[in-house]
Amino acid sequence: MLLKRWLTLCLFAFSLVLNAQIDDAQLDKLIQETLTTFDIPGISVGILKDGEIIYSEGHGVRSLETQKDMNPNTLVGVASNSKGFTCFALAMLVDEGELSWDDTVRKHIPEFQLAEPWVTENFTVRDLVTHRSGMALGAGDLMFFPEGSDFTTADVIANVKHLEPESSFRSTFRYNNNMYIIAGEVLKRVSGLTWEEFIETKIMKPVGMVNSKASYYRVKNKSNIIEAHTRADGKVIQIPHDWSPLANPAGGIVSNVPDMLTWAEFLMNDAVTKDGVRLLSSRQFHELWQLQTPLRVGPNDYYSSNFRGYGLGWFLTDVKGGHKQVYHTGGLLGTVTQFTMIPDLDLAIVVLTNQMVGGAFNTITNTIKDSYLGYENRNWLDRYGKRRNDFLAETDSLKVEIFNQVEKAKVDSCIPKPNQITGTYGDDWFGNFVISHEGKTYTIRSERSSQLVGELLPYNATTFVAKWNNRSFDADVFVNFTFDTNGKAQSATMSYITDITDFSFDFGDLDLKRVD
């Protein structure tokens, strides 16, 4: 009986090894097809298995304009994959006895204040990095997104008190970048180093991430760095790099495939460098990968997962047979990335892109992961490709309907007159929008975020459409006015015209009141 069981286990292990030997040619073909299916200029991919890099390649181009090749050394903004570094840095201070995860934020930032007094007094460093503040998804992101605003870290700390909660404190997962900006300020006040200095000197350098920087603006040699791309008005175009250093602790790191695989190897070696230096105690490292905020697992989960949630800077779940998966994604204007580790298989997968399509990195990561977990080909390319096409068809159709209505509204006698809506409207945390009228054209402009300017188009008797001049945003919004008894607009709210808009265009949290 024991011999039979041993033979069965050996056959299973042998089968798993065979499945794990991904053919480079097949992977090359998949990535090329992914580029075409999702209309992405360039992708770089890396696989680490058992401490060895078994795949590290770039495909396509890093710039549509220059047509220079994407290669594994091409630098990419990894965006929210930076959050794991922020939490690792905080854990190092916990190890040193300078900080506790359960310190109140006000212990280190006395001026910190949220909308509710009890939450303010009880909000901890742990709460900053686990997306359980009670505020809505992306609340306050307009303070740093898109690039070109004049907000500072002090402004973020001062303004979060104006962001009304959507749910009760610690009850619900709602992704929040501004709490990470504040976590970066905690790191600075406790350590005496800026977030960027700490990440580069205390983590990147000893780990061996020789080409990475803590911010786009700290990269001196930009000869091999991506250009950003996105779909605008139905066509993929190259756009200027867009990132505010204000949000570096939430998503500022620039890296490449070799360095991200070095980071993965270090993490899966229990935070011990290749030189044998331990940067974090086992206890604190273990804490980073413990569930803090639970998330729902769907009834038809692709990987038969039993749990899912967020740890300290990482998403956590189990995949087929109980393998713990530690992962994160990241997105900027013009790029999305994915970083995945399955520590008990000693497996890491890195996918870096220069276009804003998550289905692409999911296609590649899942296909690679499946081969190690023993799944047969589940054709993720077709699955995600169809989902993407259906979504684009739906959103493009909605846009056509909305702008057809805009055309009809041009001759609608119920549309408000200029003197009813022009003026300045202020929001407590974001500042003012100015609505002006010249000739036949309305303009809407943010006073604090230079790129948020566009045409305001009549839609119906109470609603206009803000059509931003920068068409790469894909973030046009309804502007919904309320009027007094004299027919003059006194306030306004905003809402996306379609669901394609990135959540960091946080127009939904604005509560605009007339101020002139």
Helices and strands, counts by H and E, the chain: 16, 20
Q: Residue 193: which domain range?
A: 2-378
Cα distances from 394 to residues 129, 159, 387, 390, in angstroms, run 35, 36, 11, 6
Pair 354, 415 in one domain: no
Pair 332, 202 in one domain: yes
CB 313 within 8 A of CB 89: no
Pair 109, 245 in one domain: yes
Write down the pTM of the prediction.
0.94
389 part of a folded domain: no
Pair 231, 84 in one domain: yes
For 432, the token pair is 């003012």
What HEC string does 398-451 produce?
A: HHHHHHHHHHHHCCCCCCCCHHHHCEEEEECCCEEEEEEEECCEEEEEECCECC
Pair 416, 369 in one domain: no
Pair 349, 400 in one domain: no
For 16, the token pair is 């798993």
Of 490, 439, 424, 495, which Cα lies nearest the Cα of 465?
495
Pair 374, 400 in one domain: no
Q: What digits encode the pLDDT tens for the residues 345-362?
A: 999 999 999 999 999 999
386 part of a folded domain: no
Q: In the listed set 353, 378, 403, which residue is the last one of a domain according to the structure?
A: 378
404 part of a folded domain: yes
122 part of a folded domain: yes
Domain total in the chain: 2
Pair 324, 417 in one domain: no
- Report the pLDDT value the prediction gives residue 17, as an integer from 0 to 100: 42
- Report the pLDDT value the prediction gives residue 22, as an integer from 0 to 100: 77
Separation CA 329–CA 316 (nearest Å):
12
235 part of a folded domain: yes
For 24, the token pair is 């480079």
Q: In the listed set 378, 409, 432, which residue is the last one of a domain according to the structure?
A: 378
Q: In the listed set 330, 346, 378, which residue is the last one of a domain according to the structure?
A: 378
CB 370 within 8 A of CB 378: yes
- Report the pLDDT value the prediction gives residue 21, as an integer from 0 to 100: 64
N-to-C CA span, the chain = 86
383 part of a folded domain: no
Pair 290, 260 in one domain: yes
- Report the pLDDT value the prediction gives residue 4, as an integer from 0 to 100: 40
385 part of a folded domain: no
CATH number for the domain including 464?
2.40.128.600
- Report the pLDDT value the prediction gives residue 220, as an integer from 0 to 100: 95
Pair 226, 177 in one domain: yes
CATH number for the domain including 104?
3.40.710.10
Of 357, 348, 335, which Cα lies nearest the Cα of 80?
335
Pair 409, 353 in one domain: no
For the chain of 516 residues, list the mean pLDDT of each consecutive stretch of 10.
40 42 90 98 98 97 98 98 98 98 98 98 98 97 97 98 97 98 98 98 98 97 97 94 95 98 98 97 98 94 96 98 96 96 98 97 97 94 97 96 96 93 98 96 98 97 97 97 97 97 96 96
262 part of a folded domain: yes
- Report the pLDDT value the prediction gives residue 15, as an integer from 0 to 100: 40
Three-state SS for 279? coil
Q: What digits encode the pLDDT tens for the residues 15-31?
A: 444 444 678 999 999 99
Pair 35, 172 in one domain: yes
Separation CA 98–CA 109 (nearest Å):
14
